Structure 1
Amino acid sequence: MAVVLQNAILKSLTHKCLVPLVCVRAGLETSSVLEAARKGTRAKAEAKKKAAKKEAVKKEFIPYRERLEQRRTGIKSPRRVEDHLKTPIDDVWITKFYKWKVYEAAEAIAMHRESHHPTILNSFDSLITAKVELDISLDKKNRYLDRISNVIRLPYDFPLEHNRSILVLTQDIDMQQKARELGADLAVGTEIIKMVQSGEFSLQDFHHVLAHPDLLQDLLSIKGMLKRKFPNVKSGTAGEDLVPIIERFTLGVDYSYTKHKHDPSYALIEVPFGSFHLSDEQLKANLSTILQDIESHKSNRKSTDLITMVCLTARPSSESFKIDHKALLEESEDVKIAARA
């Protein structure tokens, strides 16, 4: 009878208290086993509670306009990824499901010329624009190119409206007159220093300041007011012969990159390189000059390509043709090498 009662007690303890029968038979104290069981259960419960607990995240206030912009862009990079897309083989296809077709520069220019013909859009005065996408990230993580901008004189000029105001500083009276004839808004000598210091004249009214090297030493007294506009030989805003420098800033095209809000490695440059009054070869030469100048901003701290894609557009048409910009750059480099030889 006693044996039956002992077995019943052990069965009850192992069932209700989860105490292993082996522990009891081995002579272990049931109190220590139960205590260990309780501690393990409490630890698991606390861990489960911590995992289930959600931290309250304070939502940052976003202005209404920024919310609309995020909704429109989806807070995604505008860079088109085509690794998973196939190349179209038919004459007609849905562009978002396939890779963009890549054209030669001359072919893309010719197609825009056809669409702007007087019998179609009748817009032969339109400018052809290059949309150049850039990857401005450097090899070091979270480091990017600071500025990519310039004013360059293209091989073939074309009518281009711009609002650049130019100040030319030189002591040569004849050069001052020549500068005004070339399109400079103002051409003066060292008297500009006293005018600026007395507050009679503001340098902020001018986009570019060009000067003869002889005046650079005198201009140091107002360097703080000029800031980045301070002329120097390296940037091409100062030189012995001011005529080509003035022509570059009055007749040349300017470009600068625009960074993307949500992708710090993405930047875009939109720059016109001609109108349809120029021949296809002249337009191609202008485009090549622009791409080479942009490529020259590539840092030695960057091992990947700076220019990732180039598309040609021409308003009022909404068509955009992707071109093989690498072939154009290589062709231009070959021409340079041949000319040196």
Structure 2
Amino acid sequence: MAATAGKQLGTLAAAYYHHQKLNLHCYQLCSLLQVRNYAARKGTREKAKKKKVKVEVKKVGFVPPIRQKKTETLTVGELQTDDSWKSEPLDDVWLGKYHKWKVYPFAEAVECHRETHHPTCYNLPNAFINAYIELDMHGEKPTKIVEAFTRTVNVPHVFDHGENRTVIAFAKTPELLQLADKAGATISGDNQLIKRIQKGEISVSDFTAAVAHPEIMADLSVIRGLMKRKFPNPRVGTLGLDLSVLIRKILYGIQYKAVPLEQDITFGRITVPIGRLTMDSKQLEENFIAIIKDVEQVRPKRDGLFITRTSLRCPPSTEVFKVEFQKYFEEKNSADASYESDDDEEIVRTNVI
């Protein structure tokens, strides 16, 4: 009996010990679970607090319809430049939707804008007159599109473009620096000017552009990081042998940008001022010719027109007058052909002799 009781007591002791060990393990496990639950609840509370933060909404007052900004929306018909299939207007009043767009002589289009800007109308006799140039942006291959580009062109008749431009010039010889100053450079110099820029006495960011002569490019490379995009480059037209031409192009040249349309990227447009209404019509026409010839230089190597349509606009008037542009290229082609024929005739004469 004593042996049996001892065995039972030992079994109970082992069971008790095992029970206590199991309780300890459960306690530790529960404590860990409590920490995880607490951490999860804390994260949930933080998220809830963030959601409860009220966002202050600013109320906008009523804007009259006249003052609302209107985005330019062009229809397929306005993008279509070929209207040869339309009929000619029979009188002075017609619907542009069903008839050809009238082509005005350049001088007549300018005179029409002068009438609308007379003191009795808009009272802006010295307003800018803009050339609106439409482009076919198809590239050399059918799948390629001409990207947006920005160029600066020298116009034969300079006018006040309303911008304050400044130029810094770099050259080695005193003769070149003197020519740069006469051309209108804000500041010019050699290695001493480069050292002043390195010390921080002069900031290149204060100038519209920087031009340089090729002889000083080796010394100018030490401040390439400070100049960034304003570092002289022949592609941009800021590096060359004739500093006076470069400076005048920056100061008085007209900058334009070709932008693809959002409705159809195969169409592009350029809006560029060609002068003011107070200028002579012949001068405005010569500026217009210089600009369209510069645009034609970007033409991709493919068949068809690059410039599809040109017109004259003069804000704030909404009138648009279409003008002819192909005749200016035809004059150039005929002049080149006549020059080649003269050369051929001269060669024949020399052979005969």
* TM-score of Structure 1 vs Structure 2, range by shorter chain: 0.5 to 0.7
Alpha carbons of 1:184 and 1:111: their partners in 2 closer, same or farther (altered >3 Å)? same
* 2:296 counterpart residue number: 295
Provide the secondary structure at the position in 1 that maps to 2:217: helix
Distance 1:185 1:225, change over 3 A: same
Residues 282-310 of structure 1 deviation map (CA, whole Å, 9 limit, x = unaligned): 1111110111011011122x322111111
Partner amino acid, structure 1, of 2:305 = D
Q: Provide the C-alpha distance between the structure 2 equivalents of 1:305 and 1:115, rounded to a whole number of angstroms.
A: 32
Local SS of the residue matching 2:221: helix
Helix, strand or coil for the counterpart of 1:114? helix
Q: Displacement, 1:234?
A: 5.2
How many Å apart are 1:214 and its aligned residue? 0.8
RMSD (Å) for aligned C-alpha atoms: 3.4
Contact 1:182 1:250 in 2 (8 A): no
User: Residue in 2 aligned with 1:62?
Assistant: none
1: distance between equivalents of 2:108 and 2:202? 51
Which protein has the larger Cα radius of gyration, Structure 1 or Structure 2? 2
Go from structure 1 to structure 2 and tell me whether the alpha carbon gap of 1:108 and 1:228 turns closer, same or farther (over 3 Å shift). same
CA displacement 1:196-236 (0-9 Å, x = unmatched): 55666554444322111111233334445555543244543
Q: 2:63: which partner in 1?
A: none
Change (3 A) 1:69 1:129: closer
Residue correspondence of structure 1 range 1-341 to structure 2 within 5 A: 73=73, 79-83=79-83, 85-173=86-174, 175-176=176-177, 179-180=180-181, 182-194=183-195, 202-223=203-224, 226=227, 228-233=229-234, 235-300=236-301, 302-334=302-334
Q: In 1, Cα distance between the equivalents of 2:119 and 2:332?
A: 32
Letter of the aligned partner of 2:171 in structure 1?
Answer: T
Shift in Å at residue 72 of structure 1? Answer: 6.7
Q: For the Cα contact (< 8 Å) 2:137–2:260, is it kept in 1?
A: no
Whether the aligned pair in 2 keeps the contact of 1:291 and 1:329 (CA below 8 Å) is no
Q: Give deviations 1:96-127, integer Å, cap 9, x for gaps.
A: 33332112223322322333344544422112
TM-score, with structure 2 as normaliser: 0.65
| C-alpha distance in structure 2 between counterparts of 1:185 and 1:259, whole Å | 35
Query: Identity of counterpart residues, as a percentage?
Result: 32
Q: Which amino acid aligns with 1:325?
A: F
SS at match of 2:79: coil
Secondary structure of 1:95 counterpart: coil
Q: CA deviation at 1:246?
A: 1.1
Gaps of 5+ in 1: 1-67
CA distance in 2, matches of 1:132, 1:71: 19
Q: Distance in 2 between matches of 1:337 and 1:203?
A: 48
Q: Which runs of 5+ in 2 are unaligned?
A: 1-67, 343-353
